[in-house]
Structure 1
Amino acid sequence: MLTDSLPDLTPYLRGGDTVMWGQATAEPLTLTRALVAQRAHFGCLDLFLGIDLSGTIRTEHTDHFRFMSYCGAGGNRALAKAGLLDIIPAPYSLLLRELARAGMGIDVVLVQVAEADEDGMHSLGLANDLLIAAIEQARVVIAEVNPNVPRTYGERRLRPDEIDAFVPAAFAPLETASSVPSPQEERIAEHVASLVEDGATLQVGLGGVAEATLRRLTDRKDLGIHSGIVGDALVDLAESGALTNARKGRNTGRSVAGILMGTKRLYAYANRNPDIQLRGTDETHGAEALSSIERFVAINSAIEVDLTGQANSEVANGDYIGAVGGAPDFLRAAHRSRGGIPVIALRSTAGERSRIVASLSGPASTARCDAGVIVTENGIADLRGCSLTERMRRMIAIAAPQHREQLECRSQLMGNSP
């Protein structure tokens, strides 16, 4: 429960503004709750939403808000299901650029920052990410200053004269608990870990497979991290001695991420720790930055993958629950990287349904030309350089056994048609 009184935001916002804030664990709760409470005073605002962990924004707030986002994660799922969320299906590296090109630049940014450092500057705490570009665009930057936010090393610190209003806060930042992997996820992680050699630089997401994979890599040497999001498993890898970032070729000796999404353990590790650096999306997802990393292993997920390798990571059962996200950026980079491996890892079934399918039930978030190595609990299908016929054979081999016969029949009907 927040004890701080809500600040008055009315002097800073105008009707028609586009507003965004730090997503996920970096949400400035005092400011977002003030925005909701005072929404009738602003006319209509466009809100650009990232991952929502707090549930602050709800469907009834459409009386004064319009919602857009790149994802259906967390609380966004209810907005999407109600038909209230306008999705921007752009690769993460181009997200704000595409938004600005469409005439929807960011006018107001709400940020959660650490207390001022010895130079009087404010760390952006738990996220640099999209905030770096948004702050450059914005007319107004409002900062919630929280002594519980870690003082992290990042691409950007804010000078006091760059902040239009300061608001005090003293609550614990949002946390995301580590996932407990299922037996299927443990088997997937075992397969994925077998692909990772000493000296590899990893991009991983969150969830059971990511957690279980990183736990299996503590016997490796000189691993690196370059990822959009990192969780508590990074701390385990660092404490094991496996994570040194010594062979990255870029940001040598430093783990790089856009957002910290974990618990107090991760936040304490990152506080005043130069070994982990938070950067904006040009660095975490940009083609120029990623192209300089050797042995880049990109580990992403999907809702379903078809027999030719194209993946749907956005829609399940007609509901928008995922995102295009950074997968296109990371998978293409891993393809180009010398010794790189582009991985999509997923369970072979969801309930009784196969997630290896003849035809996608949703959009092709990742094109088949970007497909690399597909991993399920049943094995590894390396599709790189394979013809359509060979791709289908390999994909059927990693599907759930009870679905293979039907997929084989479908593949014969499809032939090798382009």
Structure 2
Amino acid sequence: MFEHHENYDRYIPDVMLKKHKKHEEYLNDVYAGMSHEEIYKSKLGTVEDALAIIESGDCIVNSIHGCEPRLFYRNLHRIADRIDPNNPVELWSCVHRWGPEYEVHTNPELKDKFHHQTFFYDGNFRKIHPSGMSTYFPVNLHNYGQELHRCKRPNVVVIGVSTMDEHGYCCVSCDLQWEMESLYSADKIIFEVNPKIPHLPGECAVPVAMADVIIESDLDLYELQDPPIGEAEKTVAQYAAEMVHDGDCIQLGFGGIPNAIGFELMDRHDLGIHTEQIGASMAHMLQKGVVTNRYKNLDKGWSVGTFIIADNFTYEYLNNHPRVLMRRGRYTNDPMIIAQQDNMVSINAALQIDLTGQVAAEAIANIQWSGTGGATDYAYGAYHSKGGRAMLCQISTAKKGTVSRIAPILDPGSIVSVSRNLTDMVVTEYGVAKLRARTVKQRVENLIAVAHPDFRAELRKEANKYMYF
């Protein structure tokens, strides 16, 4: 159930809205007459001060990507000796980009003291999952904040923020997937201020008076290094780019291929951006004037995203950018909001697709590989946009060419991230398979046509076996 964006607060638990009012009263009453600098200094402490407020049974939620509170997590293991194993600290997050640095993430002896709950697996979480240190939480990105609170209210928020501006605000610029909802319901709030985090307009600005403890860090932000792009990936990117026209509004998902597609769009004009991830290719598009957002139905003139994960060029270029607006995930990924953008083009990656159009984008058989993220959100939104297109892009094979990513049926235990009812186009290095408004028989023919030639005969044989024709 989704509502127009003017009413989306009605689906947020009351506890968050009530806490918001409490904070307003707190800020107005307690800090009246103090300068922003005085408030900041009254909150400023050490890592030890931040750790001192963490207790057994706390539920901690943190920002991620370019706003990951790296200094805090580097030191969190130091309180293990005072955490009751019968009442461990729960750590709610998504990916932990710097996970190998954190003992709470790598030391299985601490699994009874700290337990990770996550919406999205990366290589770090996949590595620790067998030890029982982490649990996956299935949910679509637009519901991250809401469903987290329905499961268990986080009472501690730790966020990486920019330095304070002249108005007394810091910015959690690089991640707004669940942070604002959590800030307004938390009992204890820790800011990790880092001058390398960019300032940006939007919902990411938070007053320093909200923090209980402020710690300062100058550690590097995580730079996302996409895998090398080979000839097959480049061909996929070129085919996908042909489907993007001047004036379209785009979303680019995680991965090397979506980012490579962005770099293939540098000759377009008047593109718009409404996305979850703002990555390196989007920063370059903005720099070159490819993006103007002039034809967007909502947020006209603004590039809108909910998190930033890229390279240092992107972080530095976006700093104080006057036309990049950070908004909550429950807005950017609300399918009904996405659908209101005409000519919305969604570009994401997939792991496997069956011959009828079912898409496995987050798991390999029964192994959780990543997460649903915004795959369903944008598939639905772009599918229902006037003139919209939703592309799932992948090279045709895996495991050095020995396995076809287009399969007769999904591997047993696979998770369907995108229903075949929402699958629009599948792009490989062999072309574009259009599935929307096609029968199962037509879908099978179109998908076999973009499968690797070495597997086409077997796919056709299996299609007959399953009576798809």
| Whole-angstrom distance in 2 between the partners of 1:179 and 1:255 | 26
Q: Point out the more displaced range, 152-161 or 257-266.
A: 152-161
3-state DSSP of counterpart to 1:137: coil
Q: Percent of aligned pairs with the same residue?
A: 26
1:69–1:86 Cα contact (<8 Å) kept: yes
Q: Displacement of 1:148 after TM fit?
A: 2.1
Q: Which residue of 2 aligns with 1:376?
A: 428
Deviations 1:225-263 (A, max 9, x none): 111112111122122221111111111111111111112
| Whole-angstrom distance in 2 between the partners of 1:145 and 1:188 | 40
Alignment of 1:396-411 (within 5 A): 396-411=448-463
| Whole-angstrom distance in 1 between the partners of 2:230 and 2:256 | 7
Alignment of 1:296-375 (within 5 A): 296-316=344-364, 318-351=366-399, 352-361=402-411, 362-375=414-427
Equivalent residue in structure 1 for 2:116, among 67, 72, 83: 67
Q: Which residue of 2 aligns with 1:109?
A: 157
1:129–1:278 Cα contact (<8 Å) kept: no
Equivalent residue in structure 2 for 1:210, among 254, 258, 281: 258
Deviations 1:269-302 (A, max 9, x none): 1111121111111221013421321110001111
Q: Which residue of 2 aligns with 1:241?
A: 289
Q: Displacement of 1:179 after TM fit?
A: 4.2
Deviations 1:182-205 (A, max 9, x none): 211101001100100111111002
| Whole-angstrom distance in 2 between the partners of 1:354 and 1:179 | 20
| Whole-angstrom distance in 2 between the partners of 1:23 and 1:156 | 13
Cα distance change on mapping 1:344 and 1:292 into 2, 3 Å = same
Q: Which residue of 2 aligns with 1:231?
A: 279
Q: Displacement of 1:159 after TM fit?
A: 1.3
The one-letter code matched in structure 1 to 2:421 is C
Q: Displacement of 1:49 after TM fit?
A: 2.2
Greater fraction of residues in helix: 2
| Whole-angstrom distance in 2 between the partners of 1:359 and 1:319 | 17
Cα distance change on mapping 1:407 and 1:111 into 2, 3 Å = same
Deviations 1:106-131 (A, max 9, x none): 22110011111011111113222221
Note the aligned Cα RMSD (angstroms): 1.8
Cα distance change on mapping 1:114 and 1:192 into 2, 3 Å = same
Deviations 1:75-126 (A, max 9, x none): 1111224444221111111123223223x12221100111110111111132
Structure 1 gaps of 5+ residues are none
Deviations 1:52-72 (A, max 9, x none): 210222252313112211111
Deviations 1:335-380 (A, max 9, x none): 1101110111111100211110111121111111111111111111
Equivalent residue in structure 1 for 2:93, among 39, 46, 49: 49
| Whole-angstrom distance in 1 between the partners of 2:50 and 2:166 | 29
User: Does residue 38 of the first structure (1) align with residue 79 of the second (2)?
Assistant: yes
| Whole-angstrom distance in 2 between the partners of 1:192 and 1:128 | 28
Deviations 1:295-350 (A, max 9, x none): 10001111101111111112226432111110100010001101110111111100
The one-letter code matched in structure 2 to 1:372 is D
Q: Which residue of 1 aligns with 2:15?
A: none
| Whole-angstrom distance in 1 between the partners of 2:434 and 2:406 | 14
3-state DSSP of counterpart to 1:410: helix
Q: Point out the more displaced range, 306-315 or 130-139.
A: 130-139
Deviations 1:140-183 (A, max 9, x none): 21001112221122213211221111111122222213543121
1:114–1:145 Cα contact (<8 Å) kept: yes
Equivalent residue in structure 1 for 2:224, among 176, 183, 187: 176
Q: Which residue of 2 aligns with 1:99?
A: 148
Q: Point out the more displaced range, 269-278 or 171-180.
A: 171-180
Q: Which residue of 2 aligns with 1:24?
A: 65
The one-letter code matched in structure 2 to 1:353 is V
Q: Displacement of 1:10 after TM fit?
A: 4.4
User: Does residue 13 of the first structure (1) align with residue 63 of the second (2)?
Assistant: no
1:389–1:416 Cα contact (<8 Å) kept: yes
Alignment of 1:388-403 (within 5 A): 388-403=440-455
Q: Which residue of 1 aligns with 2:439?
A: 387
| Whole-angstrom distance in 2 between the partners of 1:291 and 1:106 | 31
| Whole-angstrom distance in 2 between the partners of 1:222 and 1:279 | 21
The one-letter code matched in structure 1 to 2:463 is S
Q: Which residue of 2 aligns with 1:269?
A: 317
User: Does residue 278 of the first structure (1) align with residue 326 of the second (2)?
Assistant: yes
Q: Which residue of 2 aligns with 1:147?
A: 195
| Whole-angstrom distance in 2 between the partners of 1:247 and 1:378 | 32
| Whole-angstrom distance in 1 between the partners of 2:107 and 2:144 | 24
TM norm structure 1: 0.94
| Count of aligned pairs between the two proteins | 413
| Whole-angstrom distance in 1 between the partners of 2:199 and 2:51 | 29
| Whole-angstrom distance in 2 between the partners of 1:334 and 1:377 | 23
Alignment of 1:283-298 (within 5 A): 283-298=331-346
1:124–1:154 Cα contact (<8 Å) kept: no
The one-letter code matched in structure 1 to 2:425 is V
| Whole-angstrom distance in 2 between the partners of 1:372 and 1:106 | 38
Q: Displacement of 1:266 after TM fit?
A: 0.6
3-state DSSP of counterpart to 2:273: strand
Deviations 1:30-74 (A, max 9, x none): 111222222332331111121121022225231311221111113
| Whole-angstrom distance in 1 between the partners of 2:89 and 2:256 | 37
| Whole-angstrom distance in 1 between the partners of 2:206 and 2:83 | 26
| Whole-angstrom distance in 2 between the partners of 1:304 and 1:59 | 33
